[in-house]
Structure 1
Amino acid sequence: MTKKIADFFALEGNYPDLDAEGAVARLSQAIQCRTINYADHSLTDYSEFDKLHAHMKASYPHIMRAGVFERLGHHAVLITLPGSDETLRPCLYMSHQDVVPVVEGTEQDWTYPAFSGAVADGFIWGRGTLDIKNQVFGVLEAAEYLLARGRTFRRTAYLAFGDDEETLNTGALAISDHLKAQGVTLEFVLDEGGGKIESGAAFGAPDLSIAQVDLMEKGYADLELTVRSIGGHSSRPYGGTSLTHLACAIADIVRSPFPVRLNPAMMGAFETLAPYITAEPLKTLTRDVRANADAIAAYCYQSPALFPFVTTTIAPTVIQGSSRACNVMPQDMQAVINLRLADGDTVENVMAHCRAAVQDPTVELRYQQANDPSATARRDGYGYRTVVDSMRRYYPDVVFVPSMTVGATDAHQYEQICDTCLRCSPFMVEPEEAASGVHGTNERILVRAYLQGIRVLIDLMEHANL
């Protein structure tokens, strides 16, 4: 794809009275709040979240007058903008306030300091500009724009911002439980996801530019393996060291792949792309996606870009417990394998699969944490159609494709009150920028991209809420 991201933007002249300079300044100030949330809450500086909440309240007076601002859980935020038509199910626009820390030792690698919120070279710089205070504040900008111009909401809108998406997901769950207790069911949820325009080459459509609308997310598991030993001198390794047993167990699991399947979300992707696919064998196979689902899945499994979409992945990530001395056998050792569970697998059957793969009875297996894959959102109803229509208006040369995220978001926490949880950010970025900036160094968003995302959200709210 030779086009730059801004080349895909349309209707940038819409909403000419949008306070572009103010919107950029407000996001910049939000980036300066160091809202890093740790799994161990004793390490979290919640005064930074308090500063962010004060910034929200001061910056969006029409939202604060028209709506109800609540802090739930620890520091999750729910803003209710009541609609006049109680027969319409509400919709929920969500994102998260927390960001990941900067990797120690890389601070000097940033062009501008990570929490400076610098506005320079056509970008807003800093941790959270892509993941994902841009969406928190973009949602607020869109709602404030409409309310400040006297527009009234027919459909209730919830603006929901978790405080620990990067760690425990308890903030989003607190909001979801709060709404469930009130008997609320939602028409749709819009969360982060996608956010890139990229070539369709991996799908056999090299002449196409695509963006994902993620309907589901894979499950997540950290599988801990432990081997116990008294250690000793390395000249007497009878029966193998604890490291030997641990390494063999890791290899056993890695060499026992999980089933390969084309799930409903990916079937939708190939059905949507079928008219544009020119490369074989996918051109022939996608003439009947459902009949050829196994063959398409097998093709995807051999593709570095597509294999995470069709199977549970296995990634050994941690090993610890060995001695620093080369002639000392280790005592107790642990390793962690990170697994991302495909649709069709569960926490229980993945554990059974791994136990069966490990032939060594001395190896202990347990989950540090684990959750099943999410449900798959509907794409045949009002929510999907309305969101995609707004996206298409502002990115008309892009084909929006139902898909799935191989990572994790807060959206799955809302499945108990919504059957259309969509992960599709309107803030578009170059794929290379996303790869290097999200959780990395020099995270930044193009000013034009931030403003374009706000326009999409204003348009979506006009069609869904007014």
Structure 2
Amino acid sequence: MSISLGPSEHGQPKKPWAWVAAAAVYGLLELTVGGPVAFLASKAPEAAFHPSSAVCPLSEPLIPSGGFRDSSQFLEEDYVKQSVDFLAGAIKIPTQSFDEMASDPLKDDRFNIFADLHQYLFDTFPLTAENVEKVNTYGLLYTVKGSSSSLKPLILMAHQDVVPVNPETVDQWEHPPFSGFYDGEWMYGRGTIDTKNTLIGILEATESLLGQGWQPERTILISFGFDEEVEGKRGAGKLSSHIEQRYGKNSIEAIVDEGSGVTESYGALFPLVSTAEKGLIDIKYSVEVQGGHSSMPPDHTGIGILADLILKLEADPFKPYLDSESVTAQTYSCFATAPEADDEIREIVAHLGDSKYLQKLIDILNADRATRFFIQTSQAVDVISGGVKINALPEHAFVKVDHRVSVDETVQSVWDRGLRHAKGIAQKYDLGLVESGKVVFDGMMGNLTIDVSDWTETAPKSPTSGKFWDILSGVNKHVFNSVLKYDLPVITAPLVMFGNTDTANYWNLTSSIYRYTPLQESDGANAHTVNEKIRFRGHLGTVIWYYEFLQFASTS
């Protein structure tokens, strides 16, 4: 058995932003690289671009020197065989989480499968399991106690659950979705990318260190929720409360969870670490009007009124916003450091304090859907329902609109905009307006109701300077250049993440939350869909990354 290392593709520089946008949405490697932002790559300039570290924080590689075995141990043939078994064993246990599962895991038999995964993890990684607790039955909290009580603990996170496999698509898989089949290069199965690869990678790295007599100075907490794919309230929600009760608010040094990954573009390798998450608000608009036979309709049925509302909403998109201190400005500043980046973006980055150049960047981002929503709140009309029979006027109809709230906006401002449009439509059609169960005003022709289905505020922005950012960046450089043999500059860059992770439950514990999967984009494919798979060298790189990160992050 052999594992090929380093870049799998060579030739023309790749355009990053289609993949970067996918990473921002899912924190995963889901789309093929290739995209519309051609201005980032024209001819390579003659002179190198050297931004200040305040614009794009740059760090030196961190080389382990603590007396532990070299990271190359994980690339040896015997260990590769072991690691294949480790990950495949977890993939074979179908820990699927479904919408509408019971809030109490003891009252829903579909959660029982998680007990099988627990036993597998405890048997496979016994040293790490010497101090593990179960929280709310299926949440797992491992503790590796540090020697110094004065140092705040570090939390590593992953989740045990996977999205369900649609039974109608099983025959479309090249190999069964819970087989963990390994063909010598790729491993197939639900969870290989999201996110049993990081869960097992964390445990492999920790087990190896503990087997060498490792005692960290800083306490290491490993927190595995079990319902991240269905909001995370039973798992991460309870785990974070448990940790806060034990250690207190703002008691954690930093958190690393799943997130965006690593992309190769314009002569450089970019580990993309999400330092902010967009917020979320789902708004439901419902219309109740008089029914009747459709042969005598009003000028606008309830569905027609909703159609007017939808038209008004979509004709009023949210305004893009960017300032020189924003995460997205910093992302572009880092991309501008690549050896083959375009002169125009370098000029813009060099003058971000100038409103004229800042507007140029806004215009560039706003011109394409793949980049627009880094700086703008999105809205999507995703669900609509009304009417039960072709010849009966609908008495009730509703529409649900999903919004991903820009890091520079608030959930409240999105709600206020929706309420403003609902008020205008209600007045236009002489409907009463009901806001979250409270009557705002009455109408003669029925009611329009606006409710929140779900919401999460935008995440606090995490720092891109200081000890843990330097560790993230320095470990990235050493692992990808020296161990995995990528012969490219490694530039760690911050990113806004569109989707939400379990870290939304942990804001009380620290302001330093990093969402990052140390996996090159060409080494993973098809998260959440048919033929989810990971190139196994990518999994080994993940193990190596955690192995080295723990050695540096666990010290003072």
Once the two structures are superposed, what CA deviation does each residue of 1:370-397 show, in whole Å capped at 9, x if it has no partner?
1111000111111111112111212232
Distance 1:16 1:320 in 2: 54
Shift in Å, 1:281: 4.3
Shift in Å, 1:152: 2.0
Q: Residue type matched to 2:316 in 1? A: S
Aligned to 1:339: 403
Q: Residue type matched to 1:420 in 2? A: S
Once the two structures are superposed, what CA deviation does each residue of 1:216-274 show, in whole Å capped at 9, x if it has no partner?
11011211111113333333221311111111111211211112112621122123233
Q: Residue type matched to 1:175 in 2? A: L
Q: Secondary structure at the match of 1:223?
A: strand
Are the aligned partners of 1:256 and 1:357 in contact in 2 as well (CA < 8 Å)?
no
RMSD: 2.4
Shift in Å, 1:198: 4.4
Shift in Å, 1:7: 6.0
Are the aligned partners of 1:72 and 1:174 in contact in 2 as well (CA < 8 Å)?
yes
Shift in Å, 1:104: 4.1
Once the two structures are superposed, what CA deviation does each residue of 1:429-457 show, in whole Å capped at 9, x if it has no partner?
328x54xx111110011111101110111
Structure 1 counterpart of 2:474, from 365, 370, 389: 389
Distance 1:324 1:420 in 2: 54
Structure 1's 12 and 110: CA in aligned 2 closer, same or farther, altered over 3 A?
Answer: farther
Q: Secondary structure at the match of 1:92?
A: strand
Once the two structures are superposed, what CA deviation does each residue of 1:313-347 show, in whole Å capped at 9, x if it has no partner?
0111111123353x433231111111100112222
Distance 1:176 1:229 in 2: 45
Are residues 1:129 and 2:197 paired?
no
Aligned to 1:300: 365
Once the two structures are superposed, what CA deviation does each residue of 1:20-44 show, in whole Å capped at 9, x if it has no partner?
2222212111112221223422456
Aligned to 1:428: 520
Distance 2:469 2:389 in 1: 55
Structure 1 counterpart of 2:314, from 250, 254, 257: 254
Q: Secondary structure at the match of 1:128?
A: coil
Once the two structures are superposed, what CA deviation does each residue of 1:155-214 show, in whole Å capped at 9, x if it has no partner?
111111111111122221222222222235122111111124243xxxxxx454433110
Are residues 1:372 and 2:484 paired?
no
Q: Residue type matched to 1:179 in 2? A: I
Q: Residue type matched to 1:32 in 2? A: K
Aligned to 1:321: 386
Structure 1's 367 and 160: CA in aligned 2 closer, same or farther, altered over 3 A?
Answer: same
Aligned to 1:197: 263
Q: Secondary structure at the match of 1:87?
A: coil
Are the aligned partners of 2:280 and 2:456 in contact in 1 as well (CA < 8 Å)?
yes
Structure 1's 129 and 180: CA in aligned 2 closer, same or farther, altered over 3 A?
Answer: same
Are residues 1:415 and 2:507 paired?
yes
Distance 1:247 1:44 in 2: 41
Describe how 1:39-118 pairs up with structure 2 within 5 A: 39-42=99-102, 45-65=110-130, 68-118=131-181
Structure 1 counterpart of 2:304, from 217, 220, 244: 244
Q: Secondary structure at the match of 1:197?
A: strand
Distance 2:173 2:73 in 1: 34
Number of residues of Structure 1 aligned to a counterpart in Structure 2: 451
Are residues 1:215 and 2:313 paired?
no
Are the aligned partners of 2:74 and 2:540 in contact in 1 as well (CA < 8 Å)?
no
Are the aligned partners of 1:114 and 1:442 in contact in 2 as well (CA < 8 Å)?
yes
Structure 2 counterpart of 1:285, from 328, 339, 348: 348
Q: Residue type matched to 1:332 in 2? A: H
Q: TM-score, with normalisation over the residues of structure 1?
A: 0.90
Are the aligned partners of 1:271 and 1:289 in contact in 2 as well (CA < 8 Å)?
no
Structure 1 counterpart of 2:416, from 352, 362, 366: 352
Aligned to 1:160: 223
Are the aligned partners of 2:262 and 2:269 in contact in 1 as well (CA < 8 Å)?
no
Name stretches of at least 5 consecutive residues in structure 2 with no aligned partner.
Answer: 11-69, 103-107, 432-447, 482-487
Are the aligned partners of 2:191 and 2:197 in contact in 1 as well (CA < 8 Å)?
yes
Are the aligned partners of 1:5 and 1:429 in contact in 2 as well (CA < 8 Å)?
no
Structure 1's 293 and 178: CA in aligned 2 closer, same or farther, altered over 3 A?
Answer: farther
Shift in Å, 1:419: 1.3
Structure 2 counterpart of 1:265, from 318, 321, 327: 327
Are the aligned partners of 1:195 and 1:425 in contact in 2 as well (CA < 8 Å)?
yes
Once the two structures are superposed, what CA deviation does each residue of 1:81-124 show, in whole Å capped at 9, x if it has no partner?
00112222211110111111113421111111111221225111
Q: TM-score, with normalisation over the residues of structure 2?
A: 0.76
Distance 2:551 2:269 in 1: 27
Q: Secondary structure at the match of 2:256?
A: strand
Are the aligned partners of 1:377 and 1:420 in contact in 2 as well (CA < 8 Å)?
yes
Q: Secondary structure at the match of 2:89?
A: helix
Distance 1:253 1:169 in 2: 30
Q: Percent identity?
A: 25
Q: Secondary structure at the match of 1:238?
A: coil
Shift in Å, 1:12: 7.6
Structure 1's 411 and 7: CA in aligned 2 closer, same or farther, altered over 3 A?
Answer: farther
Structure 2 counterpart of 1:449, from 538, 545, 548: 538
